[in-house]
Structure 1
Amino acid sequence: MTDLETRTERGTPGPRGALRRAAPALLGYAAVRALGLLALALWSAARDKSAYQLLTARWDSLWYTRVAELGYGYEVRLPDGDVHSNLAFFPLLPWLERLGAAVTPLSPADAGFVVSLLASLAAAWGIFAVAEHLYGRRAGVCAALLWAVLPVAVVQSMAYSESLFTALAAWSLYAVLTGRWVTAGTLAALAGLTRPVGLAVAAAVWVAAVAPFVRSRSGAGPDGARGPEHAPGDGARRVLGMLLAPLGAAGYVLWVGHRTGGGPLGYLDVQAGWRNGFDGGAAFARFVAGKFTSLPGALAGVGLIAGVALLVWLYAVCVRRRQPLALLTYSGLVVVLALCASSYFGSKPRLLLPAFPLLLPLAVALAWARTSRSAAVLGGLAVVSAVYGAFWLNGSGPP
């Protein structure tokens, strides 16, 4: 593993140099996503569907667009008594959609698509930056490409908030690793305005900021940040970053509670209207167990169990290899919140998209392999991801 203290002493290249270093990762990421969009276009055309509509005007993207166009307060009352309120959707993406529609000829839906495309590139760059900082440039490229070839990576190109959130989270974590505490806190606050899981970013900032003082050590800690003796005033910046980090998520949740009259926890009532909640994974366990009532379902159940086991194994590898505490905190919370929520089970794969630190051990392994072997693996995964994404998005349920 590259020595983090040595990396800190070298300094950080300027924006132009950083972009030049990230260029292979960004070009590779763009190529993989272009392949995915091409596969989606061909598959959708064969089914007489609009690929662009699938990306911009279905499921959650419609709710974000309604917030951008009408503001908050729209709700749908279902025959079973459930109330689907657009207050469940955090505001940063709709704000950007409204801004894009105001300053360009684009509609809010079109603006949302553009935001997601740009944010996905920013996310790939942030993932590259984190991996390069820890393990070197080659691992950074592999990490960005692994994120691009995930089975549900097509969501990265949808007018959803996953790409925007991952970009903010990745760059916030990079700021933590490089000791930029105010930047880390600001980006964590923006991530908190994007999705409820933004609290995982805030928690990562807090843990990384407090841990060195708890251990009473100086110098570079396992969070990769500089110690107080290398940066005068570092303690004050840490505190400011900690104060900023939770403001986005906490501010929106409190505002929803005030608007609905439900108090500080009123947002939970809004989520309950969508049948979303945190039950420790009981509902997901029952869902998986229910798959074993038939042979085809049993195969799906085995696949789900294998997927969860893979997540646990990857996290254990991250712990064993002493991944920075900020990354462990963040990815652990993202996985727990995704798997232990009683939400729509088909959405769980996309809820795991932001947990990119789990990919870093795989990225390191690919970086150590021969270039031809790494290229073959990533190329094969890109094809599988493109085909599966086209099939998945053309299905009946929301991703």
Structure 2
Amino acid sequence: MKTSDPLTRRFALRLGPPPRQRRRRFELGKALPALAVFASVRLTGVILATLWSLHLGRHPRTVLGLAWDGHWYWHLSQYGYGLIVHSKGSHGVHNDLAFFPLFPGLIRAGATVLPIGPINVALLIAWSAALVAAWGVYAVGELLHTRRVGIILVALWALLPHAILLTMAYAEPLMTAFSAWSLYAMLTRRWLTAGTLAILAGLCRPNGLAVAVAVVTGAVAHLWQLRRAGEPTAARAWATAAVAPLGWLGYIGWVGLRTHDPVGYFHVQSLWGSRFDFGHYTAHMFKHVIVGHDTLVVYVTAAIVLGSLLLFVFCVLNRMPLPLLTYCAVLMVIALGGTHFFTSKPRFLLPAFPLLLPLAVHLARSRLRTVVVLLTALAGVSLFYGTYLLTVSHRAL
């Protein structure tokens, strides 16, 4: 409501912005060191990838914006669904219905407003979402532990060997942004916000289902506690549990209608070679790694998978909140239980940032020199491996 009284206007200006806005600025100010670390690491990764791409005679924007799934997202943003590609030398049929709609939809919307082209828009969205995701990762770490833990958690997430994906035109940064803030909202009992963000995460990627399952688990656990305490149940928690899966279910249902098959989406995935076999394929690949020979990316993938399993055990032993455990567990089941695309499994695990919490807590208790040395070593490995992964390796990301 506006006022024409000069004295009232001066008093309002003296008070400053509303309390909620001041609180958001304060929270952003606390997160700035973590965001600065994240931006510095990922910008260095982009510079290295750019320089090596130019050395190889490739355009950096093409490498970052159109590699692998990036080309599919670009095509969807320009022409919509309907592209089917038959693989040469195999029986695979690559149908663009395998890709969820939110990221290409945002690219199309942004390209109609910004005169910079769809590839640049896709990269802008991915980079912006990665920063928002880093802020959410920090917020969860600080909420559960301390500010120092939050900063170290962001640094570890930014230095994952496959974190180069956070600067590519992929949907993972967008999904992680919605996931992190949905989990934060749920931990702080902001039920409707958590449910809305879970819907959006479910429209980003197939493993966005993990956010919905985590939010439903948190809501049901909260309702159960209220019931045991004899207190009235919270209507917002019920509503959150009901709406959280709607984004994921909505797209699965739409594909079912389009293909005239209730499980049409899973049939589309199977034609890509991706099926759920309860980990048989993953176990076979580990056997292959032990008794056979393969490329560097396969060995690093195996190490990342084993490390994720070990970190999950530590999360359980440290009694991480049930919704975060559920979120990580579902992501791991989807990643490790599926067939094909073994070298893509680190990408599927990229949103599982809570797995890094035990390590972040341990480092936060260490001396500063230890933390600096370890993070510097991780930076060297991550940045050079990310450049290799993007510009030299021909394995699917």
What is the TM-score when the length of structure 2 is the normalising length? 0.90
For residues 300 and 85 of structure 1, what CA distance do their matches in structure 2 show? 26
Aligned residues of 1:291 and 1:298 also touching (Cα < 8 A): no
Write the letter of the residue equivalent to 2:201.
Answer: A
2:124 is equivalent to residue 110 of structure 1? no
Task: Tell me which of 312, 316, 321 is aligned to 1:315.
Answer: 312
Match in the other structure for 1:70 = 79
Unaligned segments of structure 2, at least 5 residues: 1-19
Write the letter of the residue equivalent to 2:38.
Answer: Y
For residues 371 and 52 of structure 1, what CA distance do their matches in structure 2 show? 37
Aligned residues of 1:193 and 1:252 also touching (Cα < 8 A): yes
Count of residue pairs the alignment pairs up: 376
Write the letter of the residue equivalent to 2:197.
Answer: L
2:213 is equivalent to residue 203 of structure 1? yes
Match in the other structure for 1:222 = none
What is the deviation of 1:298? 10
Task: Tell me which of 269, 273, 276 is aligned to 2:274.
Answer: 276
For residues 138 and 12 of structure 1, what CA distance do their matches in structure 2 show? 24
What is the deviation of 1:381? 1.1
For residues 373 and 93 of structure 1, what CA distance do their matches in structure 2 show? 39
Match in the other structure for 2:144 = 134
Match in the other structure for 1:82 = 92
Match in the other structure for 1:6 = none
Distance 1:107 1:303, change over 3 A: closer
Unaligned segments of structure 1, at least 5 residues: 1-10, 220-227
2:333 is equivalent to residue 336 of structure 1? yes
For residues 15 and 180 of structure 1, what CA distance do their matches in structure 2 show? 15
For residues 61 and 251 of structure 2, what CA distance do their matches in structure 1 show? 31
What is the deviation of 1:152? 0.5
Match in the other structure for 1:144 = 154
Aligned residues of 1:152 and 1:349 also touching (Cα < 8 A): yes
Q: Secondary structure at the match of 2:288?
A: helix
What is the deviation of 1:178? 0.2
What is the deviation of 1:300? 8.0
Distance 1:50 1:191, change over 3 A: same
Q: Secondary structure at the match of 2:274?
A: coil
Match in the other structure for 1:287 = 285
What is the deviation of 1:234? 6.7
What is the deviation of 1:177? 0.5
Q: Secondary structure at the match of 1:369?
A: coil
Match in the other structure for 2:198 = 188
What is the deviation of 1:46? 2.4
2:380 is equivalent to residue 383 of structure 1? yes
Match in the other structure for 1:224 = none
Write the letter of the residue equivalent to 1:396.
Answer: H
Q: Secondary structure at the match of 1:201?
A: helix
For residues 225 and 97 of structure 2, what CA distance do their matches in structure 1 show? 41
2:33 is equivalent to residue 24 of structure 1? yes
Higher deviation after alignment, 131-140 or 369-378: 369-378
Task: Tell me which of 90, 100, 106 is aligned to 1:96.
Answer: 106
Distance 1:12 1:325, change over 3 A: farther
Aligned residues of 1:100 and 1:106 also touching (Cα < 8 A): no
Match in the other structure for 1:258 = 257
2:367 is equivalent to residue 373 of structure 1? no
What is the deviation of 1:12? 11
Distance 1:302 1:42, change over 3 A: closer
For residues 177 and 15 of structure 1, what CA distance do their matches in structure 2 show? 17
Task: Tell me which of 59, 62, 84 is aligned to 1:53.
Answer: 62
Task: Tell me which of 173, 181, 184 is aligned to 2:183.
Answer: 173
What is the deviation of 1:212? 3.1
Distance 1:269 1:298, change over 3 A: closer
For residues 300 and 398 of structure 1, what CA distance do their matches in structure 2 show? 10
Distance 1:380 1:292, change over 3 A: closer
Aligned residues of 1:90 and 1:196 also touching (Cα < 8 A): yes
What is the deviation of 1:293? 4.2
Q: Secondary structure at the match of 2:234?
A: helix
Match in the other structure for 1:119 = 129
For residues 69 and 304 of structure 1, what CA distance do their matches in structure 2 show? 33
Distance 1:255 1:142, change over 3 A: same
2:245 is equivalent to residue 246 of structure 1? yes
What is the TM-score when the length of structure 1 is the normalising length? 0.89
Task: Tell me which of 164, 172, 181 is aligned to 1:162.
Answer: 172
Match in the other structure for 1:3 = none
Q: Secondary structure at the match of 1:171?
A: helix
Distance 1:313 1:40, change over 3 A: same
What is the deviation of 1:383? 2.0
Match in the other structure for 1:236 = 235
Write the letter of the residue equivalent to 2:237.
Answer: R
Q: Secondary structure at the match of 1:76?
A: strand
Aligned residues of 1:101 and 1:107 also touching (Cα < 8 A): yes
What is the deviation of 1:74? 1.3
For residues 375 and 81 of structure 1, what CA distance do their matches in structure 2 show? 50
For residues 157 and 298 of structure 1, what CA distance do their matches in structure 2 show? 24
